[in-house]
Amino acid sequence: MDLNRLTIHEAHELLSKREISSVELTKAVLHRIEEVEEKVRAYLTVDEDRAIEMSKKVDEEGDFSSPLSGIPVAIKDNICTRDLKTTCASRILANFVPPYDATVSERLKAKKAVIIGKTNMDEFAMGSSTENSAFFATRNPWDVDRVPGGSSGGSAAAVAADECIYALGSDTGGSIRQPASYCGVVGLKPTYGRVSRYGLVAYASSLDQIGPLTKDVTDCALVLNAIAGWDERDSTSANLPVPDFTKSLVEDVKGMKMGLPKEYLGEGVEPEVKEAILSAARVFEKLGASVEEISLPHTEYALWAYYIIAPAEASSNLARYDGIRYGVRAKDYEDLLDLYKKTRSEGFGREVKRRIMLGTYALSSGYYDAYYLKAMKVRTLVKADFDRAFEKYDLIIAPTAPTPAFKLGEKTGDPLKMYMSDVCTIPVNMAGLPAISIPCGFSGGLPIGLQIIGKPFDEATVLRAAYTFERATDFNSRKPAL
């Protein structure tokens, strides 16, 4: 048995019966990393010694009451991990070791999860392909000449390649769901406020959200159970009761009403992707749900509004990287202003600089009303579209991405083309809704993702529909032949 191929629930069952040990499971994952990491390049840091030490401790204690006990997890490198390097895939934070844990890291450790390492990403989560990492590009396990998606490309690739049992990512405009789609895994963006952002290095604070990347929907529910909930250290955290999400893993969509927005199947969506989504709709109908075409008229403006709001927030958030308090500092400088300029010029990559400049411009005197304020008004209209739809429908289904994974280097010279990769996911962040991506087909051997969008704080219904679809199809059972 290849232990690294197990899901969380399969591993938990074997650990609970003492048929395997956490050390064996952790070593199997570390062996897999050694075997394929050169091809995939999913990790920035592998914390081998501490992972084995932690797994030994879990075995000695022998308490596997938590479904995550003794199970290896990979964490995206913009989520703080105490005494373990957290670089955001940027030169400016190349040596940064946080003195504290993010709330999600803390919660996983409390459940005795084994942190195996930190995964590669687009620098400061700005990108759709993980090619914007300052260190190296991650590759898609289904075809190593293609991107794994972004910005959580390392986490998605690690899960798809069985280099971890599950992973955490962050999603600002699709950064969990789009790589989940490209890598053929399950990725959930919870409702904004459902999971604490404390210790997540901020990109765009009103859009960022942490979520799981897993091998199936059951695992997704298990991880969400562990990381969701109110946190007094995060002012945007929602103080609401958290249900047991595993109770929504029921094969039943009878009587559910689903909307399929025509705007998500229009120009730019590849025919194979469109057919896979329509086929998924037919599966839901056979299972007793009703699917109707709907319209979300402001969808076409969401992408452009996002690329004003997110860079504006990034411009403010990234002002703290000045070479004074932490991170890398330029060596030769004449005065304080020169130190700032040189540190930021040397430390930030092209895409990060591009977005800081865009955001600073949008917020500057004389342009604030013309750009930022208008973009915020569009955001309100996008949210209103969803609100109206959810008065009649339980869920909305759509493609996760307009195409399967594209080739490395294919879009790096054309930022606008790259930004279009997130056209199906961005509106969900703008409205702060929960959404999941699950495998629903293949195009030329590459996975296609189905996106299921729910009402605010109704992850339970999203998971129920995703679980029902997963059990009725076999897309989830296929693995890349690395």
| Other beta carbons within 10 Å of 320 | 11
Residue positions annotated with a catalytic role: 76, 151, 175
* Closest of 435, 416, 438 to residue 427, by C-alpha: 435
Q: What is the distance between the alpha carbons of residues 402 and 269, in angstroms, rounded to a whole number?
A: 4
R_g of the chain computed on alpha carbons: 21
* Closest of 472, 471, 437 to residue 451, by C-alpha: 437
Q: Are 470 and 412 in contact (CB under 8 A)?
A: no
**Tokens (6 digits) for 163:** 């280099």
The residues pairing with 39 across neighbouring beta strands, listed in sequence order, are none
Q: Are 352 and 95 in contact (CB under 8 A)?
A: no
- Give phi and psi for 47, each to the nearest 5: -100, 65
* Closest of 113, 79, 292 to residue 196, by C-alpha: 79
Q: What is the distance between the alpha carbons of residues 455 and 77, in angstroms, rounded to a whole number?
A: 29
Q: What is the distance between the alpha carbons of residues 54 and 44, in angstroms, rounded to a whole number?
A: 20
Q: Which amino acid is at 187?
A: G
Q: What is the distance between the alpha carbons of residues 289 and 242, in angstroms, rounded to a whole number?
A: 26
CA dist 240 → 193, 224, 234, 456 (Å): 9, 14, 14, 12
**Tokens (6 digits) for 335:** 């005065």
Per-position DSSP letters for 412-463, written without gaps between them: TT-HHHHHGGGTTTHHHHHHT--EEEEEEEEETTEEEEEEEE-STT-HHHHH
CA dist 156 → 166, 352, 477 (Å): 9, 22, 16
Q: Are 61 and 44 in contact (CB under 8 A)?
A: no
Q: What is the distance between the alpha carbons of residues 377 and 266, in angstroms, rounded to a whole number?
A: 24
Sign of CA dihedral 363, 368, 371, 374: positive
Tell me which DSSP letter residue 201 carries. P
